[in-house]
């Protein structure tokens, strides 16, 4: 936990969490999260679009499927999924259904402050 934000990150699953199959763990975390941050890099975008070799990025493909289904069911009426970029000019790597969603470019402490305010419902 940092700055009062509880984070679920796939690389630091705890002991009990490791007992859950990966797809169920992801679905559970997406379900309970107020927001899901998508780190939109070129590699992430290629994995979402299945433009990588077999066996590369199966977790991202599964996650994208869950997110796309959630967006479909909510008719895109959700602010749950938040694209994150690390520099301007990379918006092309935001998955298509989220291109119109608010996104954040984390290139400064001020930008982090804006994201923090958004996540806290202050913005």
* Average pLDDT for the chain: 89
Residue 91 is predicted with a pLDDT of 95
pLDDT at residue 46 tops 90: yes
Kindly provide the b/e burial profile for residues 1-39, where b requires at least 16 CB atoms within 10 angstroms of the residue's own CB.
Answer: eeeeeeeeeeeeeeeeeeeeeeeebbbebbeeeeebbbe
Q: Is residue 110 part of a domain?
A: yes
Mean pLDDT of 87-107: 93
Domain that holds residue 102: 10-119
Q: Is residue 4 part of a domain?
A: no
Alpha-carbon separation of residue 21 from 10, 59, 61, 122 (angstroms) = 12, 11, 15, 35
Residue 12 is predicted with a pLDDT of 75
Residue 9 is predicted with a pLDDT of 80
Q: Is residue 59 part of a domain?
A: yes
Number of folded domains that form the chain: 1
Q: Rounded to 5 degrees, what are φ and ψ at 101?
A: -80, 155
Residue 80 is predicted with a pLDDT of 94
Q: Is residue 20 part of a domain?
A: yes
Q: Is residue 74 part of a domain?
A: yes
Give the pTM: 0.86
Q: Is residue 1 part of a domain?
A: no
Q: Is residue 89 part of a domain?
A: yes
């Amino acid at each position: 936990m940092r700055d009062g934000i509880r984070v679920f990150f796939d690389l630091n699953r705890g002991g009990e969490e490791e007992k859950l199959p990966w797809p169920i763990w992801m679905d559970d975390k997406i379900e309970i999260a107020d927001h899901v941050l998508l780190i939109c890099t070129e590699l992430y975008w290629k994995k979402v679009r299945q433009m990588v070799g077999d066996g590369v990025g199966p977790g991202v493909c599964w996650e994208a499927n869950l997110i796309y289904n959630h967006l479909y069911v909510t008719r895109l009426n959700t602010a749950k999924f938040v694209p994150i970029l690390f520099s301007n000019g990379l918006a092309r790597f935001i998955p298509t259904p989220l291109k119109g969603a608010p996104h954040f470019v984390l290139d400064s402490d001020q930008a982090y402050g804006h994201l923090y305010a958004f996540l806290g419902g202050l913005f």
